[in-house]
């Protein structure tokens, strides 16, 4: 049973990775970036790259970002036996004239603020890129997913 679960997780990650990739257009007419606002970032997202590298096999982070400026995160980075750790909180978007859209957040249950504020560098229909405002080497790539498989 454990092998079947791993195979299904790998298949899901492969499909999500393929679905997220932008189509190469030799004329440079790729998809237009979206305006960063609560409507366009709302939805279900999977973290697929962290600091330019794919997520380690068997690890995951999913975010369900709500228009009402709240989110639910499902991750197994700090959990045992592949049991998802569910984290809730709120976020805020602000416009910086030089940097663009900045997202920051806090965790519910007195767990404090996110460790970084992030510049949302690129937002497309199916992917977005975050760069830590205080550490440009800290990057994250998210791909939109239709469902979160660990809810």
* Domain ranges within the chain, ordered by starting residue: 2-24+36-144
Q: Is the dihedral of CA 41, 122, 146, 84 positive or negative?
A: negative
**pLDDT tens digits in sequence order for the chain, 151 residues long:** 434 333 333 333 443 444 565 544 545 567 889 999 999 999 999 999 999 999 999 899 999 999 999 999 999 988 776 788 999 999 999 999 999 999 999 999 877 999 999 999 999 999 999 999 999 999 999 999 999 998 7
**DSSP structure class, residue 28:** S
Cβ neighbours around 18 below 10 Å, total: 9
- In angstroms, the CA 9 to CA 149 distance is 9
CATH number of 2-24+36-144: 2.40.128.370
Q: Strand pairing partners for 90?
A: 70, 106
pTM, two decimals, is 0.79
Reduced 3-state DSSP string for 51-117: CCEECCCCCCEEEEECCCCEEEEEECCCCCCCCCEEEEEEEEEEEECCCEEEEEEEECCCCCECCCC
């Amino acid at each position: 049973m454990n092998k079947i679960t791993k195979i299904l997780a790998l298949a899901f990650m492969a499909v999500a990775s393929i679905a997220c990739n932008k189509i190469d257009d030799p004329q440079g007419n790729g998809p237009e970036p979206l305006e960063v606002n609560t409507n366009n970032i709302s939805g279900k997202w999977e973290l697929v790259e962290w600091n330019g590298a794919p997520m380690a096999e068997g690890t995951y982070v999913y975010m369900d970002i709500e228009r009402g400026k709240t989110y639910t995160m499902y991750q197994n980075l700090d959990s045992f036996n592949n049991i998802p750790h569910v984290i809730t909180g709120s976020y805020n978007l602000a416009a910086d004239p030089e940097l663009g859209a900045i997202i920051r957040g806090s965790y519910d249950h007195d767990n404090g603020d996110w460790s970084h504020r992030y510049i949302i560098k690129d937002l497309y229909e199916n992917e977005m890129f975050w760069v830590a405002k205080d550490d440009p080497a800290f990057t994250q790539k998210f791909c939109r997913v239709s469902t979160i498989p660990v809810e």
